[in-house]
A and B are shown apart, each in its own frame.
Chain A
Amino acid sequence: MKYLRLLIGILLVLMVTTAAGQSDSLRVTADYHNLPFLVFIKKASDELNVRFFYPADSVPDIRMKVLQPPADLLQVLRVNLEPAGFFVSMDRNGNVFVNRGQAIATRLPDNFFSLSQKSPADTERNTSPAGSEKDFLRTNNEYIARTFTIGNRKAGARYASAAIGGQALSFNDSTPLPGATLYIEELQRGAVSGEDGSYQLEVPKGKYTVVVRSIGYEESWFKVEVLSAGDLDFYLLKKVFLMETVEISSEAEHNVKSVQMGMEKLSLKDIKEIPTVLGERDIIRVALLLPGVQSVGEGAAGFNVRGSPADQNLFVIGGIPVYNTSHLFGFFSAFNPDIVSDFTLYKSSIPAQYGGRLSSIFDIKPLQGNREKFAARGGISPITARIMAEGPVIKDKLSYMAGFRSTYSDWVLNFIDVPEIKNSSGNFGDAALNLYYNLNNKNQIKIFGYYSYDQSRLAAKVDNSYQNAGAALSWFHSLSAKHSFDASLVYSSYTFSEDNYEYFISAYRDNYQLEHQQASLNFLYQPTDAHTLRYGATTILYNIDRGNHLPLNDASLVTPVDLGTEKGLESALFVSDEWKATPLLTLAGGLRYNHFAALGPSTVFQYTNGAPKIPENITDTLFYNNNQISQTYQGLDLRLAATYLLNENISIKAGFNNLHQYIFMLSNTIAISPVDKWQLSNSNIEPMRGEQYSLGIYTNLARQLYEFSVEGYYKKVHNLVEYRDGAELVVNQYPEQDVLQGKLDAWGIEVMLRKPYGKLNGWINYTWSNTSVLVDNKITGEQNNFGIAYPANYDKPHAVNLVVNYKISKRISFSGNVVYATGRPITYPTSIYYQDGQKILNYSLRNEYRIPDYFRTDISLKVEGNLRKRKWLHGAWIFSVYNLTGRKNAYSVYFKNEEGSINSYKLSIFAVPIFSVTYDFKLGNYAD
């Protein structure tokens, strides 16, 4: 693991520090007593100005005892950690290193300098190393050295130059370093060490800067004063590969102190541990274990956050919006877990820099390539093979990360003894590339590209394919230490096509394309510690080709229909501030002005005022030229949030936001299907508006070992777009004639208890929620469900998720989850009648019934390969069982007229326990 690598991430900095550490002044008080390790070090790093480096994957699972406060920090750490096998060391700059097995030397051995200065007989020439301590040299790499003195003035008085010699040695194990170069900057000459690491050099007396380099070791600067002939050995530190900093983020206390509400952030580690379906790890399935996140059923694409339809979520990976997030019709998500660094789900306080969706932002951060060395990992599951490689192109400057995943066979289909399926096939894949160029401290450039595809063929009758493709270019520029901006250009496209050759004379091809082009400029300004100001602008140009309905071949009699195009420009300006008003009160406020223009070319119908939008009521037809504005909408989004700390461990948070959404998905199926189309607002379909109020209590329990929160919300959506009952979908040229706009009300309470770290970690949450949809246009008299409010398809009043991870040993970890939810609402027929000899079911009130409750348990066991240090490949086996109890959870219950008799059935998607084995591998050893 890369985090572990950092543990050795010691800079050469410390080469010459002495015993005079600053730890003497670091005292921990009684407040620190009995805190879990992570909380302890978080508090210490906040209050004592120290930074901790520790192995992220084997955090000591202990509570820190401060028995006689106030006590010395280092002492406390050692007393607590050493019995557990951890070593603690600290350098003079306040960096504390905690690691297992071997202490990290933060200063040279006490006799280091006396050893290195093989002094000639005249003892007077020896100067104490401590004597020149003030003489630090700061280079642009921030390596600090001190001045070494060779010889003494007296001995050198008679000579203009002096012969110096010595060895270049490894600091780590004192082995000689042959072929090391010594270069004296001032003289522009140097020497190369011999087989035994020794060197000889004749130099004029004076002060020099000596640069010593050796392959595999850190380049080091030494300030040397040559007074007379003498010896000096140079010790070099082995090169260590530093990845991202393991400074502790403030996440441990975010729960209570941050002003964010309804935000869930999970890292690669969290994703990795959760059991899989058919061996595929899936971040969307992990998200479904969070409170307030539901889906209509197993294998359904997307999810529903706090009562909103799936199209009210914005999925962004590396800045690229993704319009179809699923593989294989929703079974797997389109994001390769190997390329994901972490993801954040905003479900109530959506920051002002985001907009355009009412319900949530699902922001996926891809891994940034390793800037120091090449690394790779991958895996094989029953469904896919995947690989991710990363490394530097120019060390420390330009790095890449590339990931690929593909179904390597559709052998799954061969298991099925149905002839129809033997003519079927399906495959999918995705790829991502992340380039990161660190121009300098002030400028960084990132290029991210993403592609995913799906293809399937059913029974030699229907071919489906769809693709997401996108690229994002962003430039981060720091204007000053407090002021920076991020400028980005984003392109994303989603296309699908369907070939249907079920009946040859009506064989057709449908296609669709959405293009998203975006330019954004986001500023971050922190004038004081109390304010975090963000402001910026975004503009998105949507180009939608609603596609063509075309004859598939010459035999087809289908008349081609062009469904037309749509174009729209969505722009926004935003400003927000997070203000720590008092130590106890933090306020956040934001404004986001958004504007949408529906652009030509287009043909727009005008309908009789107050009458249903049906062909009979068309009063006029307007034609718009390319880029001519046919309709504009605007709105002002407000984001408000406040956190009040009742005490160190309890806070109350409240938030309000309202949002506007100008693009929505047309779907009349319960689950999102791969042929559902995104559609823009226009003159005849108004944009959706939403408001959400939330209020919560956040607390850290048991000395911050647990996080507990209760959050309630009330949400309202206006102009919700619903299909009119019975709309014709295959060829709908004028969508406004097929939709009705209504409203949605959702409210709920989410209770979450989480143990974020330790050998045993995980969470349990309970959500009580309610979602109600009403489509009843009083003006036109149009309504769905007789104008009566009905629960949304994904309305599941009670939901409980339990996630448990347990690290049995360094090599074996167990994890499991248990999911319970009320059955989703469903519409059953209420009566039957006869028409021309056929029985017909009469459905009445929508979603009046519920399918049986859902319950599922999954477990997995991960077994890491051996822990040998020297190996080129480390592997891990993951055994998982999905739906351990084999409960036949209902996906749907339905009635069918089968040759005249009405039968009812229950369909379960995963009706048996599914066992799968996945093999994951990476280059290097366990720790890498």
Chain B
Amino acid sequence: MRTKHLTIAIWFFLVVVMVACEESFDPQLKPSTQRLLVVDGMITNEPPPYTVQLSYSSDLKNPMLIPATEFQVWVQDDQGTVIPFTQMWPGTYSSAADGPAGIPGRTYRLMLTSFDGRQYVSAPETLPLPVAIESVDYQIETIEPDNLPYSLTGLQFYLTTQPASTDSTYFVWQLTEAYKYQADFKLNYLYSGGLQLVFNTDSLRTCYKSQLVEELYLFDASRQSVPQVVDFPLNFVSTETRAFTFRYSLLVRQFSITATAFDFYRLVQEQNNSAGQLFTRQPFQIKGNITAVDVADETVLGLFMAASITEKRVFVDRPLQYFEWHYPQCDVYDYDAYKFIWTYPPESWPLLVTRGPNGLALPSTFCIDCRQQGGTLEKPDFWEDE
């Protein structure tokens, strides 16, 4: 959901597109030495364990997660219940799997104390009631992206919830997509100084890939006559990419969050969307809900959220009528490379050899081993074939 300034800005931007120009530019940032504590924690209505990730902000040029390991972490609710967290991994603090679960209506605070005595506390966050997802649907739509010379057909997903209670009107959705895909060529031989016949030619061919959609989806239904989300546009996935070779699955995790947390995400989204527009906004440091107890002006980034989660997974098969593909495919057999297969050093063995119409070929591993494209050969537990 964009705000109105932004849409106008886009319009304007497009009007002047014939003369306007956007190009990559490196503005030579001063190296940042500032390390700010970042809190990324959540308590939910799902069964424990809950996780709080503590880290330090990192340089823009060299983004990394710098774990903050020197803390004691616990969450306290308005009835005095304390949920302790232990560091399971550097910077990752988890509550016990058999500890108390988050209860909608209760108010929680995150407390942090470092070994050298620094104390941090979150604002009290009241866990909203969960809102049921009624449906996640899709429509086949064709979009014309700015950065491509052709149009793309694909699936646009939409979400509808059931009417929410009036205190659960702020939503953030986290989308995880998963898909099944194939490498382009079969594996016929392995070469390790000599050819070895492979009987299961599809052994490296089919993979499953699961990944977070790095895009924020949020909506505020607090100003609506009915606090319900109807046909809210989620992501668009083109049927012309490898993701849609066979079957695609979308997991929608819906977080009903507090107004404080929503504001944080709203500002992040506005700041990102408004960048590069004519009516760009003044960017600023977005404050979360964590404060240092003793040092009034210490900035702490990030959020501790109390969120109710509902989720829904859908599976979609590739719609057969759309055959256009716009992704790199291996359609040329590299017979020449095979002729020089003896020149490859043993460190690169085994080499994957396929059989083309004109004999054996040594294509890029990418064309035979589907794992090269980020997936795994194991079928995930949630995966359902039709």
**Chain A contacts to B: CB under 8 angstroms:** 299-300, 328-331, 412-413, 415-416, 418-421, 424, 426, 456-459, 461-462, 464, 498, 500, 502-506, 510, 549, 551, 557-559, 561, 668-671, 673-675, 723, 725-726, 729-731, 784-786, 793, 827-844, 846, 849, 851, 888, 890-897, 899-900, 902-912, 914
Q: Are A829's CB and B17's CB within 8 A? A: no
- Neighbour of B53 across the interface among A456, A827, A834, A896, CB < 8 A: A834
The listed residue with most A CB atoms (<10 A of its CB), out of B18, B34, B228, is: B18
Q: Are B1's CB and A834's CB within 8 A? A: no
Within 8 A of A (CB), among B1-35: 1-5, 7-27, 29-30, 32, 34
Q: Are A832's CB and B10's CB within 8 A? A: no
Q: Are B38's CB and A834's CB within 8 A? A: yes
Chain B residues whose CB sits within 8 angstroms of the CB of A831 once the complex forms = 32, 34, 36, 57-60
Q: Are A905's CB and B285's CB within 8 A? A: no
Within 8 A of A (CB), among B39-65: 40, 42, 53, 55, 57-60, 63, 65
* A507–B174 CA distance with the chains assembled, in angstroms: 24
Chain B residues whose CB sits within 8 angstroms of the CB of A673 once the complex forms = 5, 8-9, 279
**Mind listing 12 A-B residue pairs with CB under 8 Å?**
A299-B278, A412-B18, A421-B17, A458-B7, A459-B10, A498-B4, A675-B8, A785-B284, A835-B302, A894-B280, A904-B25, A905-B276
* A840–B16 CA distance with the chains assembled, in angstroms: 30
Q: Are B2's CB and A502's CB within 8 A? A: yes
* A894–B233 CA distance with the chains assembled, in angstroms: 26
Chain A residues whose CB sits within 8 angstroms of the CB of B242 once the complex forms = none
Q: For chain A, what secondary structure do more than half of its interface residues adopt (helix, strand, loop), or is it mixed?
A: mixed
B226 within 8 Å of A by Cβ?
yes
* A815–B175 CA distance with the chains assembled, in angstroms: 58
* A893–B23 CA distance with the chains assembled, in angstroms: 10
A354 to chain B, nearest CB (A): 30
Q: Are A500's CB and B23's CB within 8 A? A: no
Q: Are B4's CB and A329's CB within 8 A? A: no
B334 within 8 Å of A by Cβ?
no
Nearest opposing residue in chain B for A901, CB measure = B214
Q: Are B40's CB and A834's CB within 8 A? A: yes
Chain B residues whose CB sits within 8 angstroms of the CB of A330 once the complex forms = 278
A377 to chain B, nearest CB (A): 29
B325 to chain A, nearest CB (A): 20
B275 within 8 Å of A by Cβ?
yes
Chain B interface residue bracket vs A: 35 or more
Q: Are B11's CB and A911's CB within 8 A? A: no
Within 8 A of A (CB), among B272-313: 272, 274-276, 278-287, 297, 301-303
B144 within 8 Å of A by Cβ?
yes
With A833-B57, A834-B40, A896-B275 already in contact, the answer to whether A914 and B7 are too (CB < 8 A) is no
B26 to chain A, nearest CB (A): 6
- Neighbour of A669 across the interface among B5, B29, B225, B284, CB < 8 A: B5
B139 within 8 Å of A by Cβ?
no
* A842–B1 CA distance with the chains assembled, in angstroms: 22
Q: Are A420's CB and B14's CB within 8 A? A: yes
B334 to chain A, nearest CB (A): 31
Q: Are B174's CB and A907's CB within 8 A? A: no
- Closest 9 pairs (CB-CB, A-B): A458-B11, A906-B25, A911-B21, A900-B214, A894-B275, A557-B224, A831-B57, A725-B284, A673-B279
Chain B residues whose CB sits within 8 angstroms of the CB of A506 once the complex forms = 1, 219, 224
A328-B12, A329-B278, A503-B233 given; 17 more Cβ-contact pairs under 8 Å: A299-B16, A412-B15, A416-B17, A424-B15, A456-B11, A459-B14, A461-B7, A506-B1, A674-B8, A726-B267, A730-B3, A842-B36, A846-B284, A902-B63, A905-B24, A905-B276, A907-B276
* A212–B364 CA distance with the chains assembled, in angstroms: 106
B268 within 8 Å of A by Cβ?
yes
Chain B residues whose CB sits within 8 angstroms of the CB of A671 once the complex forms = 278-280
A424 to chain B, nearest CB (A): 6
With A505-B229, A906-B25 already in contact, the answer to whether A668 and B7 are too (CB < 8 A) is no
Chain B residues whose CB sits within 8 angstroms of the CB of A829 once the complex forms = 60, 283
B245 within 8 Å of A by Cβ?
no
Q: Are A828's CB and B27's CB within 8 A? A: yes
B202 within 8 Å of A by Cβ?
no
Chain B residues whose CB sits within 8 angstroms of the CB of A914 once the complex forms = 19
* A559–B24 CA distance with the chains assembled, in angstroms: 42
B28 to chain A, nearest CB (A): 9
Q: Are A510's CB and B23's CB within 8 A? A: no
B146 within 8 Å of A by Cβ?
yes
Chain A residues whose CB sits within 8 angstroms of the CB of B271 once the complex forms = 841, 843
Within 8 A of A (CB), among B139-170: 144, 146, 151
With A424-B15, A462-B7, A842-B285 already in contact, the answer to whether A849 and B27 are too (CB < 8 A) is yes
A169 to chain B, nearest CB (A): 63
* A499–B288 CA distance with the chains assembled, in angstroms: 32
* A458–B27 CA distance with the chains assembled, in angstroms: 31
Q: Are A842's CB and B272's CB within 8 A? A: no
Nearest opposing residue in chain B for A464, CB measure = B8
B216 within 8 Å of A by Cβ?
yes
Chain B residues whose CB sits within 8 angstroms of the CB of A415 once the complex forms = 18
B212 within 8 Å of A by Cβ?
yes
Q: Are B144's CB and A419's CB within 8 A? A: yes
* A902–B64 CA distance with the chains assembled, in angstroms: 13
- Neighbour of A557 across the interface among B8, B53, B230, CB < 8 A: B230
Nearest opposing residue in chain B for A410, CB measure = B15
Nearest opposing residue in chain A for B307, CB measure = A836
Nearest opposing residue in chain A for B9, CB measure = A673
B78 within 8 Å of A by Cβ?
no
Chain B residues whose CB sits within 8 angstroms of the CB of A838 once the complex forms = 214, 216, 268
* A237–B300 CA distance with the chains assembled, in angstroms: 88
Q: Are A670's CB and B282's CB within 8 A? A: yes
Q: Are A730's CB and B4's CB within 8 A? A: yes
Q: Are B1's CB and A503's CB within 8 A? A: yes
Chain B residues whose CB sits within 8 angstroms of the CB of A892 once the complex forms = 275-276, 280
With A462-B7, A839-B214, A897-B272 already in contact, the answer to whether A834 and B279 are too (CB < 8 A) is no
* A462–B2 CA distance with the chains assembled, in angstroms: 11
With A832-B59, A896-B275 already in contact, the answer to whether A827 and B22 are too (CB < 8 A) is no
B102 to chain A, nearest CB (A): 16
B232 within 8 Å of A by Cβ?
yes
Q: Are B15's CB and A842's CB within 8 A? A: no
Chain B residues whose CB sits within 8 angstroms of the CB of A900 once the complex forms = 214
The listed residue with most A CB atoms (<10 A of its CB), out of B11, B18, B212, is: B11
B96 to chain A, nearest CB (A): 22
Q: Are A833's CB and B214's CB within 8 A? A: no
The listed residue with most B CB atoms (<10 A of its CB), out of A299, A329, A674, is: A329
B215 within 8 Å of A by Cβ?
yes
* A412–B226 CA distance with the chains assembled, in angstroms: 42
Chain B residues whose CB sits within 8 angstroms of the CB of A902 once the complex forms = 60, 63
Nearest opposing residue in chain A for B25, CB measure = A906
B263 within 8 Å of A by Cβ?
yes
Q: Are B5's CB and A675's CB within 8 A? A: yes
Q: Are A670's CB and B20's CB within 8 A? A: no
Q: Are B268's CB and A840's CB within 8 A? A: yes
Q: Are A558's CB and B214's CB within 8 A? A: no
A428 to chain B, nearest CB (A): 12
Chain B residues whose CB sits within 8 angstroms of the CB of A896 once the complex forms = 272, 275-276
Nearest opposing residue in chain A for B24, CB measure = A905
Chain A residues whose CB sits within 8 angstroms of the CB of B229 once the complex forms = 505
With A505-B231, A833-B301, A899-B215 already in contact, the answer to whether A418 and B17 are too (CB < 8 A) is yes
- Neighbour of B22 across the interface among A668, A675, A832, A906, CB < 8 A: A906
With A832-B58, A888-B21, A906-B25 already in contact, the answer to whether A670 and B280 are too (CB < 8 A) is yes
- Neighbour of B282 across the interface among A668, A905, A907, CB < 8 A: A668
Chain B residues whose CB sits within 8 angstroms of the CB of A459 once the complex forms = 10-11, 14
* A830–B3 CA distance with the chains assembled, in angstroms: 25
* A897–B265 CA distance with the chains assembled, in angstroms: 14
* A559–B297 CA distance with the chains assembled, in angstroms: 38
Chain B residues whose CB sits within 8 angstroms of the CB of A897 once the complex forms = 214, 272
Chain B residues whose CB sits within 8 angstroms of the CB of A910 once the complex forms = 16, 19-20
Chain A residues whose CB sits within 8 angstroms of the CB of B282 once the complex forms = 668-670, 723, 725, 793, 827, 846
